[in-house]
């Protein structure tokens, strides 16, 4: 996969009923964190179910460049060996994170907090994304931006301080990436690091820090939490089991809801409530989704989701739900296109700074396929019609989730939907086309 290679158009057409049992790949957020913490912690960490997508492989390479040993076993599990907190080295070359916002932002925190000087770069999409949100707290902790592109963007060189300054940082945006960068920067700090979030965001960093032996407390009052990490913990290698990614499960899930007669079982899906906003919303829209085999997997709540084709109706999605489904709005917009009545999604400003401007990309994709919609400020309103014309070509703007969302649309629309380039699907879901066609979906073209 490369953003400069020839585009790979992919086309999805109206499909017969989807059926089968499938396991989508491991969670991307947890996979990144398992390599960051496993590559840092003293001793051996064995990771099973790691997402072997481009984004996560960049994090593996970056950790190796800082001195961690990271290998893939023949059975598909991964082993990371680190030197403990304080044991990272300056890399010899630029760390290129490709398309991976989570990888680069979490690494900036970890590396700066270890006093390293690192140059970060990425693809055309990542170079457009704001890094100031990470640099602001890291500068308060003593880091210095040596060089960066205009607007505090990549390529960027960041120098960590000799001694990290303990901070209490209130998140100005509901971002788990910012929270995580600050906590990781606090690992090699002599004092405590506190992050205050006024709305809950995904808590995988906190869970995994505790799993590796950190002393971390969360105090919650209403929707606000204060998370405090005690510096210089003795992080020790642990086994990590990565549950299936709910953000990837969202694609076969919505496809099964939309394609008449479908019944699909999605196994081992993580249902941590900081990630479950799409499930809540689809259930409110009338989706038939049953949770079976509820259990814990790798310290996260997980279950099998049994999904049946359903008649959906529009709902209003409140802004405070956004952090728990931030990556799922594109595919929700597709579900909303087939739902009866209006679906109103409020408070989507963060969608503008993802792998693409997702608000604009979704609107353009809906328009190209004859779906009426309105954008009012940061709100998206999809005027659902139960039937979707399709027939359009969607520009993916180097965004995997735009590509997969509109391919799902094509499985139920009257005419096929084409996405201009499926290459980026490999960043998070390399087996997407195979998995979907295995369920009966008609998707042609080489994605990933
Ligand atoms: C992620 C957090 C989210 C999400 C991203 C993964 C993470 O970003 O969009 O795909 O793993 O922490 P923000 O925290 O910036 O909203």
Would you list the DSSP string of 390-411?
Answer: B--EE--TT-HHHHHHHHHHHT
If you measure from the C-alpha of residue 8 to the centroid of ligand 1, how many angstroms do you get, rounded to a whole number? Answer: 26
Atom in ligand 1 nearest the alpha carbon of residue 201: 14
Atom in ligand 1 nearest the alpha carbon of residue 205: 12
Q: Quote the tokens at residue 115.
A: 């006093």
Query: Which DSSP symbol is given to 445?
Result: S
How distant, in Å, are the alpha carbons of 123, 316, 344, 374 from that of 370? 31, 22, 18, 13
CATH class of 10-26+243-444: alpha beta
Sign of CA dihedral 268, 435, 352, 321: negative
With beta carbons less than 8 A apart as the criterion, state whether 168 and 194 touch. Answer: yes
Q: Reduced to 3 states, what is the DSSP secondary structure of residue 364?
A: helix
- Omega of the bond prior to 155 within 30 degrees of 0, cis? yes
327 lines ligand 1 (CB under 6 A): yes
If you measure from the C-alpha of residue 47 to the centroid of ligand 1, how many angstroms do you get, rounded to a whole number? Answer: 21
- Helix, strand, coil % in the chain, rounded to nearest 5: 35, 30, 35
Catalytic hit among 188, 327, 399, 421: 327
Atom in ligand 1 nearest the alpha carbon of residue 106: 12
175 lines ligand 1 (CB under 6 A): yes
Domains 10-26+243-444 and 28-241 share a fold: yes
* Domain regions of the chain by residue span: 10-26+243-444, 28-241
Pocket test for ligand 1, best of 29, 300, 358, 427 (most atoms within 8 A of CB): 29
Burial class (CB in 10 A: 0-12, 13-18, 19+), 3: middle
Q: Quote the tokens at residue 447.
A: 């994605």
171 lines ligand 1 (CB under 6 A): no
177 lines ligand 1 (CB under 6 A): yes
Pocket test for ligand 1, best of 29, 102, 129, 274 (most atoms within 8 A of CB): 102
Pick the CATH number of 28-241 from 3.65.10.10, 3.40.50.300, 1.20.1630.10, 1.10.530.10: 3.65.10.10
Residue 192 a catalytic site member: no
Strands of the sheet containing 379-385, edge to edge, are 316-317, 340-345, 379-385, 373-376
Q: Distance (Å, rounded) from C-alpha 179 to C-alpha 196? A: 8
Atom in ligand 1 nearest the alpha carbon of residue 247: 10
If you measure from the C-alpha of residue 244 to the centroid of ligand 1, how many angstroms do you get, rounded to a whole number? Answer: 16
CB-based burial, 30-39: b 16+ in 10 Å, e otherwise: bbbbbbbbbb
Per-residue pLDDT tens, the chain, 448 aa: give them: 444 578 999 999 999 999 999 999 999 999 999 999 999 999 999 999 999 999 999 999 999 999 999 999 999 999 999 999 999 999 999 999 999 999 999 999 999 999 999 999 999 999 999 999 999 999 999 999 999 999 999 999 999 999 999 999 999 999 999 999 999 999 999 999 999 999 999 999 999 999 999 999 999 999 999 999 999 999 999 999 999 999 999 999 999 999 999 999 999 999 999 999 999 999 999 999 999 999 998 889 999 999 999 999 999 999 999 999 999 999 999 999 999 999 999 999 999 999 999 999 999 999 999 999 999 999 999 999 878 999 999 999 999 999 999 999 999 999 999 999 999 999 999 999 999 999 999 999 966 5
With beta carbons less than 8 A apart as the criterion, state whether 27 and 270 touch. Answer: yes
The crossing angle, in degrees rounded to 10, of helices 400-410 and 358-368 is: 20
326 lines ligand 1 (CB under 6 A): yes
């Amino acid at each position: 996969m490369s953003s400069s290679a020839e585009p790979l158009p992919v086309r999805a057409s109206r499909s017969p009923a989807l059926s089968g049992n499938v396991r989508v790949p491991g969670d991307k957020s947890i996979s990144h964190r398992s390599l960051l913490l496993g590559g840092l912690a003293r001793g051996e960490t064995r990771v099973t179910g790691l997402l072997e997508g481009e984004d996560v492989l960049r994090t593996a390479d970056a950790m190796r460049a800082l001195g961690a040993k990271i290998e893939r076993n023949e059975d598909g599990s991964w082993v990371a060996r680190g030197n403990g907190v304080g044991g990272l080295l300056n890399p010899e070359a630029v760390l290129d994170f490709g398309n991976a916002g989570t990888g680069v932002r979490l690494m900036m925190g970890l590396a700066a907090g270890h006093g390293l000087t690192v140059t970060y770069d990425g693809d055309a999409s990542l170079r457009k994304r704001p890094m100031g949100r990470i640099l602001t707290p890291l500068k308060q902790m003593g880091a210095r931006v040596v060089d960066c592109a205009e607007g505090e963007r990549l390529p960027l060189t960041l120098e960590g301080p000799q001694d990290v300054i303990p901070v209490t940082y209130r998140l100005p945006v509901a971002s788990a990436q910012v929270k995580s960068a600050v906590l990781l920067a606090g690992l090699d700090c002599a004092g405590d690091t506190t992050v205050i979030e006024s709305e809950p965001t995904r808590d995988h960093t906190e869970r995994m820090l505790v799993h590796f032996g950190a002393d971390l407390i969360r105090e919650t009052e209403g929707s606000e939490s204060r998370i405090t990490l005690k510096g210089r913990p003795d992080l020790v290698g642990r086994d990590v089991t990565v549950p299936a990614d709910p953000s990837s499960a969202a694609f076969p899930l919505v496809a099964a809801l939309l394609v008449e007669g479908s019944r699909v079982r999605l196994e081992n899906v993580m249902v941590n409530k900081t990630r479950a906003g799409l499930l809540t919303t689809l259930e409110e829209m009338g989706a038939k989704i049953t949770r079976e085999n509820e259990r814990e997997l790798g310290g996260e709540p997980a279950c099998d989701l049994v999904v049946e084709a359903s008649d959906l109706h529009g709902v209003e999605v409140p802004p405070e739900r956004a952090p728990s489904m931030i990556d799922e709005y594109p595919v929700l917009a597709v579900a909303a296109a087939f739902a009866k009545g209006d679906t109103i999604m409020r408070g989507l400003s963060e969608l503008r700074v993802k792998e693409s401007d997702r608000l604009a990309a979704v609107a353009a994709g809906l328009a190209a396929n004859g779906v009426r919609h309105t954008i009012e400020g940061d709100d998206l309103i999809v005027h659902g019609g139960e039937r979707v014309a399709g027939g359009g070509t969607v520009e993916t703007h180097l965004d995997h989730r735009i590509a997969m969302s509109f391919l799902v649309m094509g499985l139920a629309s009257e005419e096929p939907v084409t996405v201009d380039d499926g290459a980026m699907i490999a960043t998070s879901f390399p087996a997407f086309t195979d998995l979907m066609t295995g369920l009966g979906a008609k998707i042609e073209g080489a994605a990933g």
